[in-house]
Homo-oligomer: A and B are copies of this chain.
Amino acid sequence: MENDLRLNILQTAKTLFVNKGYHGMSMREIAEALGVSKAALYYHFKDKEELFLAILRIYLDEMSALLDRLDAQPVPSVEKIRLFVEDVLSQPAEQRATIRLGSQEINQLSPEARQAFGVLYREKFIGKLQRILQDGMDAGELRRMPAETAVWALLGIMFPYFYPAHAQGAPVSTETTRLVADIILDGIAAR
């Protein structure tokens, strides 16, 4: 019970941030959506920025756990990547949108917050992904290229922002998920 409101704030704020962006969402809106006073939000979070970072941190932690779990599996790197793509794409759209949110809105924040996020982002997400890709290249499963470029291609496809349908609503269908994984893997696999 005691963390009830805190969790509700995180949930509601995430939805609003995703739909309206950092500056587009107001603290008042969250409060009204939850039926509490605005000041209640400030009991649980120091300021808007801290609330925003808390949301991103939760998602990065989940990503980090997923990547660790996949990396521990006794399968080729290519297979790890396929599982990663399929897992992420089958998440609800709002979930996936969180990482986009972070990358998008990060330069709205204070330098300190930006740096703090940057560290987590690289440690928990990009770094782990890059290592799996690098392993794949070293094992000859993937074509040799700068790991950065491989990450670029992978994430570019996985987190597009072009179709509103991707930002909101239903998860991607299984067929499409598989097709997208194929495209990515054909794009970067060894020839």
Contact = CB atoms under 8 A, between A and B. Distances in A.
Contact of A24 (B108, B155, B166, B183): B108
| Assembly stoichiometry (copies) | 2
Contacts of A187: 183-184, 186-188
Interface residues of A, number: 42
Contacts of A152: 157, 160, 162-163, 166, 180
Given A187-B184, A187-B186, A179 B149 contact: yes
B164 A107 contact: yes
A131 interface: no
A111 to B, nearest CB: 13
Interface of A: 19-24, 100, 103-108, 126, 145-146, 148-149, 151-153, 155-164, 166, 176, 179-180, 183-184, 186-189, 191
